[in-house]
Amino acid sequence: MQSAQNIALSPDKSIIQIIERQYIIDSYDGVKDPIGMAGSRLEVEIAVIISPTAAIQNLYRSTQKINLPVIKACYNPLLAAEVVLFPVEKEMGIVLLNLGGGTTNISFFEKGSLLHTSVLPIGGDYITKDLAIVLKTSMQEAARIKEEYGLADVNLAKEDEIVTIHNIQGTDTKEVATITIAEIIAARVYEILELVFLEMERFGCIGKMPGGIVLTGGGAHLDGIINVIEEYLNIPVRLGLPDKILNLSNEFRDPQYANVLGALKCSAKFIDISYQEVKGVSKIVDRISYFFRDLFS
């Protein structure tokens, strides 16, 4: 594993995570755990997650300012996969598509491991910005419009439905048809999907993913987006709900919480959670600890 990490990187890039895809013993591949096996030649196939060094340093400094120790850095799609993907899906072939605010993550899993992944510097925030520019309103008002009336599929919009929006200063209002809002959103959604298709083509995974696409992130809330993705890519799509966590409140059973819940599940492996009956504020803290112990047991 150490030898496999000896790759040439520019000074502004750092390795943040190494993912073991498989071990190969004397040309016998597909080995997940070689401990105890005999052979004369051992090889490993890995995926190396690389990030700008400054981005990681800034992340660490942000956590230090609020006195949070960093156990380890993990790639977001791996965290989301912990709670939204099933082992059989990762074995057969599946794409995890995370439509975040500033980025879109595309990750292809096969044979139980992450084979290909990439990050597009475009996401839901760009849709909000498009609405603000075209409708001549503030980012806050555009975010509200997207949340309350946003449609990824123009066919779902009602021609006679009108929405009242405020101008940038918030001093005046005007009326806009929901079909106009849907057209603005759909234009950006199709642009993102075109880039997603090009990445999947580069991965060589099209036609090799019987599990289809699992959609997570805040962008998954746009009405009609699943139908749009299925029609554009001709691939079945399902919503990535964190159903792999037992007894989870419906409040958090949401695709936008997949990364955070995955991080909690992974973090639970590194901490010792204990429970003891006490009173006062300590009792509340211990109840939270007990909740996490029960959640991830």
Would you kindly state where each structural domain of the chain is located, as residue ranges? 1-73, 124-188
Q: Provide the pLDDT confidence category of residue 105 given band limits of 50, 70 and 90.
A: very high
Instruction: Give residue 283's pLDDT.
Output: 54
Write the DSSP string, 229-296: HHHHH-S-EEE---TTSTT--GGG-SGGGHHHHHHHHHHTTTS--------THHHHHHHHHHHHHHHH
Instruction: Give residue 5's pLDDT.
Output: 80
What kind of architecture, by CATH, is found in domain 1-73? 2-Layer Sandwich (3.30)
**69 pLDDT higher than 90:** no
Instruction: Give residue 148's pLDDT.
Output: 92
Q: Mean of the per-residue pLDDT values for the chain?
A: 88
Tell me: the pLDDT tens digits for 251-260?
888 999 999 9
This prediction has a pTM of: 0.83
- Structure tokens of 81? 């996969």
Instruction: Give residue 108's pLDDT.
Output: 95
How far is residue 28's CA from residue 139's CA, in Å, rounded to a whole number?
A: 56
Average pLDDT over residues 212-241: 94
Instruction: Give residue 200's pLDDT.
Output: 95
Instruction: Give residue 287's pLDDT.
Output: 54
The CB-side HSE value for 148 (13 A sphere, CA atoms) comes to 10
Per CATH, the homologous superfamily of domain 124-188 is ATPase, nucleotide binding domain (3.30.420.40)
Single out the residue of 200, 189, 209 nearest to residue 111, CA to CA: 209
Average pLDDT over residues 57-77: 88
